[in-house]
Structure 1
Amino acid sequence: MSITGDDPQAISELQCCLGKHFEMNDLGPLNYFLGLEITSVSDGYYLSQAKYASDLLSRSGITDSTTSSTPLDPNVRLTPFDGVSLDDPTLYRQLVGSLIYLTITRPDIAFAVHIVSQFMAAPRTIHFTAVLRILRYIKDTLGHGLHFSSQSSLVLFGFSDADWAGDPTDRRSTTGYCFYLGDALISWRSKKQYVVSRSSTEFEYRALADATSELLWLRWVLTDMGAPHTSSTTLHCDNRSAIQIAHNDVFHERTKHIENDCHFVRHHLQSNTLHLQSISTIDQPADIFTKALHSPRFTLLLHKLKVVSTLPT
C-alpha cells in the first residue's frame, strides 16, 4: 500500500487496517501532543510550547512582573565555584530538565540552557539566578515558536560556528550549528567540545566535523522520507582557514592533531555530498548557539532562525 500524507482515502484505509489488529481511536487532527502545540494555518504549521512554558513558570514560583530581553547575561561567565551551594538542588534540576524539553521548539534558549545544565550535579545560587533569567525571558516570549511553511522548498543547507575557549573553567570551545529545509529551521545544537583547542582554526574545524555528521544524517532521513538530495548540501562557515584546510590535501603542523576530522570532512567534500561556503560573522545565525549575546544582536539572529512570536497570517 502506497501512503501519502495528503491522501484521505489512503489514510482511511491505513486506519481501517490498523484497527483490525490494534485497539485504537481516531482523535482527529493533531493539536496537542506531549506539551507541543500544533496549529494548522493556511500555509503550513506553527509549533510552540506556550502552555508547557506557562506551567513551567508557575512551578518556578516567579511572582513579579520582571522580564528579560535575552535569556543570558553576556557579561556573566558562570563557573562551578561562584556563589553559595543550594541547600536543596531539586527545584534547580527540575527547572533545568523542563527547560531542556522546551528547547524542542525554542532554539533561542538553546545556548543558555546548555550553560545552566552543566551545573546540575552541584548547582549554586548564581546558577539559579541564571535559570531565573531564562524563565523571565520566556515569560516575555511565551508565544515564540517555529513556523513550517507548506510552500517551503526542500533544499537543505546549514551553518557551522564555534566560540573559542568560551568556558572560563576548562577553556573548551562551544560548537553551534543549525540546518534549514528551505525556510524552515529543522535542526540545531549547542554543545561544549570534548577537548581544548589550541587555535581558532582547530575549534572551528571540530565544529565543522560535527555539523557534517548532522548533515549526513539529515540527508539520510530525507532520502528515507522520499526527498533524496542528489546534489551537494551547502554548509556555511565563517572561518576561511577551516575551509582552506578542507580543500588542502597536505597536512602540516596546524592540522596533525585534527587529522581524523580533516579526512572526514574532505571525504564528503570530494564525494560531492558537501559544499563549503564562506559567510561573514555578522550574517552567521549559528552564532546564537555559541555565546551569550546583547539584545540587538540576539534579536537579529532570532529573525534569521525563523522564530516567530505570533501565528503567521
Structure 2
Amino acid sequence: MQPPPSSSVPSNKVCKLGHALYGLKQAPRAWFAKFSSTIRDFGFSSSAHDSALFIRKTERGTILLLLYVDDMIITGDDTVGISSLKQFLHRQFEMKDLGSLSYFLGLEISQDSSGYFLTQAKYTSDLLARANLSDCKTVTTPVDPQTRLTPLDGPLLSDVTLYRQLVGSLVYLTVTRPDIAYAVHIVSQFMTAPRSPHYAALVRILRYLKGTLFHGLHYSPHFSLQLHAFSDADWAGDPTDRRSTTGFCFFLGTSLISWRSKKQTLIARSSTEAEYRALADTTQELVWLRWLLSDMGVSHSAATNLYCDNQSAIQISHNDVFHDRTKHIEIDCHFIG
C-alpha cells in the first residue's frame, strides 16, 4: 500500500498492513469517493436525488450507471458510449463484465418481447430451506386478517436468532414482492423479544411464499410513462399503541416502481387525520420520484394523479422555491373527484 501523505518512508521500504481495509468503517466511503472521482473523469455526473446513480448525456444518447457497493448496472441508448465506458472501467479497476443483466444481488431478471420480469425465486427457495419449510402446505394469503399481534402474546421463543434472520431476509424479499410488504411490516415489529404467535405469523408468510414462488414484477415497454399514485391508511390499526399504518404505491404506466407499508410516527385522532398523514408521506415520495425520473430523462410537465380512496383523487405538481440555504417545496393540490 502507498504510505499516507504526511509520512516519510524510504523508497526501499513498504508499509505492513495491520488490518484488512475491506472491513473498516471508512472503506465504503473511501471506495465511493474513488469511484465517483474516476467516473466523473469519463463525463458522468451524480444524480442530485440518488447519489448512487451516475448519468452521462451526449449527442448519441444517455447512459445510466447504478452502483451498489462494487456491483453495477449499466444501461442506456448510447451503445458506443457503453462500450467505451466498459473499456475505461477495465483500465481503472479489476472488474468482470457479466453480459446482459440476468442476476443481480439475488434478483433474477428475464427479458422477452413483452418486457422485463423480476423475481427472487431462488432466494425464496433458499429461505424456505433455511426455515425447514420446503415441503410445507401453502396458504392463499400472507396474513390472517383476524390476527392482532401484541408484544406480550404467548411464550418467548428459545431461538430468537432464527426469527431475526428470517425477518431480515423477508425484508429484502419485498424488493420484488410488494404483496408481502404489510405482513413483513407486522412481524418486523417484534424483533427484540419475539414470541410464538409472532413466529406463527412469520411461518404463514413463508407458507404463502411457497405457493407463490415465481411471483414477481413485470415491466412493459409498451405503455406510456405516466406516473400515478395510490395512498391509503388504516386508523388505529395497531392494538398496542393505536398508531395507524400508511400504505402507498406508484405506477409508471402499468409498472409498479415504488411502494411502502409503514406505521405512522404519531397517533391519529381520526381516520381523516390518518389519511392526511398517509397523503403527506405519499406526496413526499412522489416529489422525489418526479425529480429522479427527470434526471433519467422522463419529465412530467403535467400534474400527477394521486388516488386517496375509491371516490377521490388529487392532482399534484410542484415548484422549487429557494430561501437562503433551505429548499422548500410548494405543493399544488387540486381535488378532481
Aligned position for 1:86 = 157
**Superposed displacement of residue 16, structure 1:** 1.8
Q: C-alpha separation between the residues in 2 aligned to 1:184 and 1:11?
A: 26
**Is 2:82 aligned against 1:19?**
no
Q: Is the 8 A contact 1:67 1:140 kept in 2?
A: yes
Query: Going by fraction, where is strand more abundant, 1 or 2?
Result: 2
Aligned position for 2:124 = 53
5+ residue gaps, structure 1: 247-263, 279-313
**Is 2:80 aligned against 1:9?**
yes
Aligned position for 2:331 = 268
**Is 2:213 aligned against 1:142?**
yes
Aligned position for 1:253 = none
Q: Is the 8 A contact 2:187 2:198 kept in 1?
A: yes
Structure 1 stretch 105-114 or stretch 17-26: which is displaced more?
17-26
Aligned position for 2:148 = 77
Q: C-alpha separation between the residues in 2 aligned to 1:110 and 1:52?
A: 16
Q: C-alpha separation between the residues in 1 aligned to 2:115 and 2:208?
A: 27
Q: C-alpha separation between the residues in 2 aligned to 1:69 and 1:219?
A: 35
Aligned position for 2:300 = 229
Q: Which has the higher contact order (CA 8 A, sep 6+)?
A: 1
| 1:272-300 per-position Cα deviation (integer Å, ceiling 9, x unaligned) | xx55555xxxxxxxxxxxxxxxxxxxxxx
| 1:198-252 per-position Cα deviation (integer Å, ceiling 9, x unaligned) | 1111000000000000000000100111111111111111287997xx9xxxxxx
| 1:101-148 per-position Cα deviation (integer Å, ceiling 9, x unaligned) | 000000000000000000000000000000000000000000000000
Aligned position for 2:102 = 31
Q: C-alpha separation between the residues in 2 aligned to 1:53 and 1:148?
A: 21
Q: What secondary structure sits across from 1:39 in the alignment?
A: strand
Aligned position for 1:209 = 280
- Do the aligned partners of residues 275 and 156 (structure 1) sit closer, same or farther apart at CA in structure 2, a change above 3 Å counting? farther
User: 138, 141, 155: which one pairs with 1:67?
Assistant: 138
Which 4+ residue blocks in structure 1 deviate beyond 6 angstroms?
239-243
- Which amino acid in structure 1 is aligned with residue 232 of structure 2? D
5+ residue gaps, structure 2: 1-42, 44-57, 64-75, 317-327
TM-score (normalised: structure 2): 0.72
% same residue = 63
Structure ID, larger Rg:
2
Q: C-alpha separation between the residues in 1 aligned to 2:138 and 2:208?
A: 6
- Which amino acid in structure 1 is aligned with residue 175 of structure 2? I
**Superposed displacement of residue 75, structure 1:** 0.9
Q: C-alpha separation between the residues in 2 aligned to 1:224 and 1:158?
A: 20
